[in-house]
A = this chain, B = another copy of it.
Amino acid sequence: MPEKSLILLVGGGAVGAVAALNLQLIEQAEVTVVCRSNYAVVSQDGYRIESCDHGNLSGWKAFAVLNHIPEASSSQPFDYIVCVTKNIADVPPSLADLIRPAVTPGRTVVVLIQNGLNIEKPLIQAFPQNIVLSGVSLIGANEPEPGHIVQDFPDTLYVGPFRNPNLKVEEEDAAAKQFVQLYSAGGKTQCSYIADVGWTRWRKLVYNACLNPICAITGLDTGRVRLADGAVEGLVKPAMKEIVAAAKASGYELPATVVDDMINMDPLTMYLPPSMLSDTRKGNFIEYENILGEPLREGEKLGVPMPTLRVLYHLCAAIQWKNKEVKGFVTVPPKGSSAE
């Protein structure tokens, strides 16, 4: 191990910026952040951060800010690549292809602070000798303008090992615990080791696989979904119960109160948009395959009837396709042509 852990943090949006700050603040880490849409602002002026965990900072910069994935150095390889991007499985490039240049086989630990199921599979396939860790974040943070980060709910991160069949379980566990230590070292954030990655992921899906698509499809925020005619009884509860049943079939018994807990999690009159609604409002792609498609496929494979999520899934796919046409990823035959 070098004195400092060299960390590449991919995705310098709201959640990524707070994670970068939390890691850079300690002696043991040197953080390089890869930004996309906010690169110009962040590389020149740094971040302006208002954080319930870290206080207010102006002009804060990580060790380095890049607008591309760097090549791995043979003398100074990255110890960790922390991925905090949206995971849009159906739009290239894949996350594995994106980070490939920076990955040193057998060395770099990949940490996925992302939602959904089976997100580790393409990475383990692409990097069969590398450890991949699960990060489930309960932070509340947004970026009202590029480089301006507002964190209004504490950074709570659950880290555990995804299982790579090529590696030893003990090494994966140790790597997860080491990352927890690193992320906790500043003392300002809650980061816990959690051996059972699946339980945490399924639990978060009760919110994400249901409220996210329902809000994105209807255009209603989480407060209005609770007020709208029949939406909770007719859509939200049936969808959430399907996730609870699929989780159970997968071996994860969620608490009896989880459906009500998730429905009431956001204060009603805050009228908060879940991330997928924010994405559709901005015309961004939605990460529906990992947070909706994968649990649907898992559940149905195990014989769980999931009629509500199945319809929501296909509606999300149609909405994504519409956006792909807008962004030029698909083209349609010209109007009035006979091509079909």
Contact = CB atoms under 8 A, between A and B. Distances in A.
A340 interface: yes
Given A235-B311, A235-B314, A332-B224, A218 B322 contact: yes
Interface in A16-73: none
A150 to B, nearest CB: 16
A76 interface: no
A75 interface: no
Contacts of A229: 317-318, 320-321
A275 interface: no
B307 A340 contact: no
Contact of A318 (B228, B321, B338, B339): B228
Given A269-B337, A270-B335, A332-B223, A311 B318 contact: no
Given A228-B322, A269-B340, 14 more contacts: A214-B315, A220-B321, A223-B332, A224-B321, A224-B325, A228-B321, A231-B317, A231-B318, A234-B314, A234-B317, A269-B335, A307-B307, A307-B310, A311-B311
Q: Is the interface of A mostly helix, strand, loop or mixed?
A: helix
Interface centre among A219, A311, A312 (most CB of B within 10 A): A311
A202 to B, nearest CB: 22
Nearest to A218: B318
Contacts of A304: none
A235 B315 contact: yes
A167 interface: no
Contacts of A235: 311, 314-315, 318
Nearest to A219: B322
Interface in A256-290: 268-271
A91 to B, nearest CB: 12
Interface in A316-340: 317-322, 325, 330, 332-340
Contacts of A220: 318, 321-322
A195 interface: no
A217 interface: yes
Nearest to A336: B269
17 contacts: A217-B315, A218-B318, A224-B322, A224-B325, A227-B332, A228-B318, A228-B321, A229-B320, A229-B321, A234-B314, A235-B318, A269-B340, A270-B335, A271-B332, A271-B335, A307-B308, A307-B311
Contacts of A308: 307, 311
Interface string A217-261: 111100111011111001100000000000000000000000000
Contacts of A335: 269-271
B269 A339 contact: yes
A322 B268 CA distance: 16
A317 B217 contact: no
A156 to B, nearest CB: 24
Contact of A312 (B311, B319, B325, B340): B311
A276 to B, nearest CB: 15
A228 B317 contact: yes
A340 to B, nearest CB: 5
